[in-house]
Structure 1
């Protein structure tokens, strides 16, 4: 059922739309070296085959999982020989991100010479996985997961095609059941066709005349072990944790618990999620609601004690609470500003009045001299006592926001800072 023309491809409407740059170049036979980046089953191999057909070029495919440098060199030598005879070669490299730098570099002179039209396929972000020399010689085209509606179109074609598909087998399947298959495929056309084929093999005969119906009971058997796409170490992983973090920060509890559920469903380590949620409690909730950090630690501990599935609920409650409560990154910004000053000012001496003086010698040297014990001062604060090295002067890092508990903290600190400023400006 692999498409034999661009019009027969389902999905990729943005990339292969009539009039698009890629489509025009392919139809004109002016194919360039490229990297196709997209999820499994979106049509990367099919597009590479079509490129060879439209360019009237030989097609050769290798897999970075199965091929080593000797095989790569052999394929490149064969392509160079064909090139000398006036025929181009489309070299399709599946899972190209699995090649190391030396293996990737082997393609460079052949791409520049034009002896191969390089088409690399990857499910990983090329900017992270491919070296810059290879990327500079290729255009990166992003391919998308195929929509449910487009997968249904592919399934209809398979049911009607007697030569390459399942036509002529007397199969009957309703539109809702086709959509069930398409949804279970999770954007992967190849997976959808496989599921349809399995369903056709176990479908029961209905009327004794050779008609076979794919029923809901049939699909329950076929789709019992359906799983969603999730790469525990790739872009999808980091995109989803980013979505969870930003949903919490944006006070959207519904989105937060959705992304948490997606990651747990995909097999993400719950301990990793507990750690990231704890970070959110510190970074994004902060002192606007100090209870958030305590709840994060408790939820983490609850998961460690209960495991899944009971512990999943503790993480879900935490995500909902973090997204719903008041937010402040004031402590996060204060610490970042303090670290910046540490780097800028280097090793400054501690003011004498703030130094420790546990021995007679240190007292004689002036350590602790002039220190004012704050509990003995009016209001419990010695307002004119400096807290920073002299070269820096007094600094303000922590600026509480007017949300949650920080409203009270802001009121108190603003008043203390005003009093300290007046005390420093008062004549001696």
Structure 2
């Protein structure tokens, strides 16, 4: 960071150095090299300001460098940075586990284990489910995204750019259709397909777990219908299958509930958490029913950096901020404000904006199409708008199986003025690209 200060290197200079020094596979959406960030704003090395509607992919739910989070991290660094929670543990990990157990939905007693990344959390959730059930099979869903390790890529339901040429993947992983009414897949369709999967590929008595994102992330920001979540809960109960809710992107107040599965009123057996958990510091967790979590013996779970004391301190502060600043309610208000603006834009461009998804708090999306047809994705328009948004000082992200979905993930602490300013930029860019 010291090299940045006092130099005249541009974003293009740094992009050239990155291309020469870092693996091509670890690409970047935009050539914007960050100098500093605060709240919902970012400044690059050329001193250009951006409004952040991406928050590092739903990581900084409390905004960049929230004072309470930064204070907690600074205080922890004065004490120690690492000892390994599996060797000589510390109070912050215990207190955070207690807090997560308390926040997890449902009446069952809960326990927590920590790791560093979301992919690790998913892998450990599968390990726990297999240990608890003594079974092998795991079912995931088309369009789901669960990580980049070989196990989680096997669960992920999107080839490009994540899975291509990386196989073979672990066995005993199966996939079923995810209900997306906008694309003609109803809850009944998805349940029939799951029933057929049980008849053709994996018997329910050999299925350890079903894992689902309550709101798909990379797949297109499609919320799982409440009726589908309820039906999955019933199927898992009937067959003794562990229900895993992947809350890595949808958790920590993002959807207008602390965890997105609360919208359906269900209690998962296990939940994976990461991203918004620690306000920008690497930390992930599996939280679940105590009897299931304890299926694994001592030493079977963990990792060198699992439950970083810095990350745990940050996460405790993040949870305090969410509660004190009423960010669950704020997420719902942000979603409503986006919906009003995006619906007005859709009225002008009904042939281009096929669907608006803004009923899950501040996890918002619009799907771009040709001729108002859901089956004619307009990825070219999405790419053009994305490029121009960055040129006009707005950080946004796309997603979806065809790359035609804009996803909006503003910080839950964003002010109405900044939110409106960012939406003004998006509308202006959209209109310029559409006409």
The two structures have a TM-score, normalised by structure 2, of: 0.19
Q: Which has more radius of gyration?
A: 1
Q: TM-score, normalised by structure 1?
A: 0.20
Whose strand proportion is higher, 1 or 2?
2
Instruction: Choose between structure 1 and 2: higher helix proportion.
Output: 1
